[in-house]
Amino acid sequence: MTIATPTDIAVVTTGENTQSGSYVEWAAIFAGIVVAAAISLLLLTFGSAIGLSFTNFSAGPDVNPVFIAIAAATWLLLVQVSSYMAGGYIAGRLRRRFHDATEHESDIRDGLHGLIVWAGGTLLSAMIIASGVGAAANAVGSAAATAVEAGANAADSIDPNAYLVDTLYRPAPGTGGTTVFNDTTAQRDEAGRIFGAVSDGSISDADKAYLVQSVAANTGLPEADAQARVDQAVTAFDDAKAKAAAAAETARKTAVLAAFLTAAALLVSAAAAWWAAMSGGNHRDKQVVFAGFGRF
């Protein structure tokens, strides 16, 4: 009977840093998010101090506001890209390398950690903004509630066209500021309703003629002077309405532009975080040392 004896011994070794669970390093991701948020807060605060806040920028009388808007948008892009690049690099550099994949797969894992840093930082910023707006709204609501009763009657009596109506029914020059005519409260109210009823277009010729007769009868002005006063008030009314429409259109366009540029900045910063995380992982594997940041 022959008994075989083993001549070779098989040795099974475990790979370095093998991983049996998730490949996601949440500690590195959290560190990247914290650093990205801190850098973003620092740069945004500095930008606001020098007037580069994209949500509230203002230009001088001799400066084209378009240039200020471009500068603010560029600053927002710089802040997003730089902060998420820093956070992504830290996440990639601090992530443990598991030697169970190719170099390409390791780069993908590093990049995904940077992308998670971007997503986490974006969600954190959104929650902070939402909570800040909610807190501000609650504070304003509480403060306003104390003044509602006192200001309700005054608010009801406010007429945006009251000044125009006042200019119509001022006493004729030379009367010493008084007239011998009846109380014009009803006429003033009716004139205010005429102005207020115009939502599109301008005041009709019939209403203009009626206002001329009312002004002439209640101020002592000749009909020609009353006509000139009504024409002046109507012109001022049309100008104010045109300015309000232009301001509303500008606000709408600014809101659309701000939303588009913010989304574009976030998209670019996502790619920057991915690339920076892969760079951090490569520097980790190659043990890259930055002169001046090591031992002194």
In the block, tokens 């939502």 appear at: 199
CA–CA distance, 267 with 70 (Å, rounded to integer): 18
CA–CA distance, 90 with 276 (Å, rounded to integer): 8
Q: Using one digit for the tens of pLDDT, what is the confidence trace for 10-68?
A: 444 444 555 556 788 899 999 999 999 999 888 888 887 777 765 555 555 565 666 66
Q: Taking all residues of the chain, what is their mean pLDDT, rounded to a whole number?
A: 76
- pLDDT at position 56 is 56
226, 212 contact by CB (below 8 A): yes
Higher pLDDT residue, 58 or 83? 83
Intra-chain end-to-end CA distance of the chain, in Å: 73
The band of 260, judged by pLDDT with boundaries at 50, 70 and 90, is: confident
Q: Does residue 274 have a pLDDT over 90?
A: yes
Q: Does residue 143 have a pLDDT over 60?
A: no
- 79-93, 120-134, 268-282: segment of lowest average pLDDT: 120-134
23, 98 contact by CB (below 8 A): yes
- pLDDT at position 83 is 94
Query: What's the average model confidence in pLDDT over 146-152?
Result: 42
Query: What's the average model confidence in pLDDT over 110-136?
Result: 80
Query: What's the average model confidence in pLDDT over 126-155?
Result: 51
Percent above pLDDT 90 for the chain: 20
Higher pLDDT residue, 220 or 81? 81
Q: Does residue 146 have a pLDDT over 90?
A: no
Highest mean pLDDT among 88-92, 125-129, 241-245: 88-92
How big is the chain by its Cα radius of gyration, in Å? Answer: 35
- Alpha carbon of residue 213 to chain centroid: 50
Q: Whats the size of the chain, residue-wise?
A: 296
- pLDDT at position 21 is 64
Report helix, strand and coil shares of the chain as percent, to nearest 5: 70, 0, 30
- pLDDT at position 205 is 85
Between CA 263 and CA 273, with CA 269 as vertex, the angle to 5 degrees is: 145
Cβ atoms < 10 Å from Cβ of 120 = 20
Q: Using one digit for the tens of pLDDT, what is the confidence trace for 210-233?
A: 888 888 888 888 888 888 888 888
Q: Does residue 125 have a pLDDT over 70?
A: yes
Alpha-helical segments (H) within the chain: 26-49, 65-94, 103-145, 148-157, 162-168, 185-196, 205-219, 223-286
43, 79 contact by CB (below 8 A): yes
The tokens describing 246, both together, are: 């232009």
- pLDDT at position 296 is 54
258, 55 contact by CB (below 8 A): yes
DSSP string covering 30-82, please? HHHHHHHHHHHHHHHHHHHHTT--TTS----TTS-HHHHHHHHHHHHHHHHHH
Q: Using one digit for the tens of pLDDT, what is the confidence trace for 158-212?
A: 566 777 788 888 887 765 545 445 678 888 888 888 888 876 667 888 888 888 8
The band of 236, judged by pLDDT with boundaries at 50, 70 and 90, is: confident
